Amino acid sequence: MRDVRAGLADVARRAGVSPATASRVLTGAGPASAASRSAVLAAAAELSYRAHPVARRLARGAGTRVVFAVRDARAGILRDPFVTRAAAAMAGVLDAYDIGLSLRHVGLECGADLVELAADRGLAGLVLAGHDDALLGHLPAELRARTAAIGAGGADVDSAAGVGALLTHLYETGRRRIALVAGPSWLAASAPPLAAYTALTRAAGLPSRVVRGDFTSDRGRTAARTVLRRWPDTDAIATVSDATALGVLQFLAEAGVRVPDDLAVTGFDDIPLAGVLHPALSTATHPVEEIAAAAVRAALGEPSPVTLFPSRPVLRTTSCGGSASTA
């Protein structure tokens, strides 16, 4: 449990001044009247206020903004629901420190972008998503202490457990020809769900049917078409994002395939839309906000004791059969 302690806003409220004035008094970083100074110091003493380590770091001039850099082949990734949810959570954390958040797309070959960020004196921290292991190992030295990752090697969801639970449910309800729409091969975060799928198919002696996706509904449509063309007897399609699953469901509906009677479908993320679709989508939880908050705190020098966040299945009979349950 995180310690409950007085923050800058509490001191300002007790002293009857603005947070900016309280900050100037407590950091010595700007002017304040004698009356304000006296009130702020008295309030700080009464509340046993201790400056947060991140606040102290920022007061020393360690930057005024955090960059959330999303590495992907598609510039449109910045409109992805995962990105917008993560950015909103980071902004909420950063508001307490009065520093800003910039959202930036970087391509798969992003070495020049990282060199540019390393030279940015206004950069308080960098949160990187869409990375691979090689990229983390080649960060400019100036960035390493200020960089945190979302995904493998950083704050991440236990996608192997979430996807694995859905795959197990499919198997236990009689599905034996299960295809997986996996994430892109260049993305480190694609590996755990694929490993869960491989483990189940090998242990159960099932055929392996894997196609690659990119977390979009368009790719879900294409993937479903590919699966049914290659393996027309497929009785379940598992995906690693709800957006992909939506595309799968759309294609199946147009092709006259009944869900879940002919073919079951599962997603991942548990977006709000998943529960109101017809058929409602079986999926697994993805605590994006908690992950993003942990990552941005780590970028500011406050690492979280938790780096792997749980994912739990949300089963809905209308898309995968069996008994319904919620996480």
pLDDT value of residue 44: 87
Out of 220-224, 232-236, 269-273, least confident range: 269-273
Amino acid present at 201: T
pLDDT value of residue 118: 80
Q: Kindly give, in sequence order, each residue whose CB lies less than 8 Å from that of residue 218, ignoring residues fewer than 6 positions away.
A: 247
One domain, residues 206 and 94? no
Q: Which of 92, 120, 153 is the last residue of a domain?
A: 153
E strands in the chain = 65-71, 100-106, 123-129, 147-150, 156-157, 178-182, 209-212, 236-239, 264-266, 283-284, 308-309, 313-314
One domain, residues 79 and 128? yes
Q: Do residues 194 and 182 touch, judged by C-beta distance below 8 A? A: yes
327: in domain: no
One domain, residues 218 and 310? yes
297: in domain: no
One domain, residues 109 and 31? no
One domain, residues 31 and 136? no
pLDDT digits (tens, 9 = 90+) for 206-219: 999 999 999 999 99
pLDDT at 279 over 80: yes
Q: Which of 18-22, 118-122, 207-211, 296-300 has the highest mean pLDDT?
A: 207-211
For residue 281, the 8-state DSSP code is P
One domain, residues 134 and 35? no
For residue 14, the enclosing domain spans 8-51
Q: Which of 124, 153, 182 is the last residue of a domain?
A: 153
What are the structure tokens assigned to 241, written together? 């994002």
pLDDT value of residue 95: 87
One domain, residues 260 and 125? no
What are the C-alpha distances in Å from 273 to residues 85, 180, 270, 311? 14, 21, 8, 18
pLDDT at 304 over 60: yes
Here the CATH number for the domain that contains residue 169 is 3.40.50.2300
pLDDT at 121 over 90: no
2: in domain: no
One domain, residues 87 and 205? no
Closest CA to 89 of 53, 135, 129: 129
Element housing 87 (H / E): helix 81-95
One domain, residues 316 and 181? yes
Query: What DSSP string runs through 300-324?
Result: TT---S--EE---EEB-HHHH-S--
57: in domain: no
Query: What DSSP string runs through 44-58?
Result: HHHTT----HHHHHH
Respond yes or no on whether the N-terminal peptide bond of residue 279 is cis (omega within 30° of 0).
Answer: yes
Q: Is the dihedral of CA 187, 207, 165, 317 positive or negative?
A: positive
**Scanning the structure block, which residue is given the tokens 């639970």?**
165
1: in domain: no
pLDDT value of residue 2: 45
Out of 65-74, 191-200, 210-219, least confident range: 65-74
Task: Report, as an integer, the average pLDDT of 30-38.
Answer: 83
One domain, residues 316 and 184? yes
293: in domain: no
One domain, residues 148 and 212? no
Q: Count structural domains, the chain.
A: 3
One domain, residues 191 and 276? yes
What are the structure tokens assigned to 236, written together? 């379940």
Q: Which of 101, 121, 153 is the last residue of a domain?
A: 153
* Counts of helices then strands in the chain (DSSP H, E): 14, 12
299: in domain: no
pLDDT value of residue 64: 82
295: in domain: no
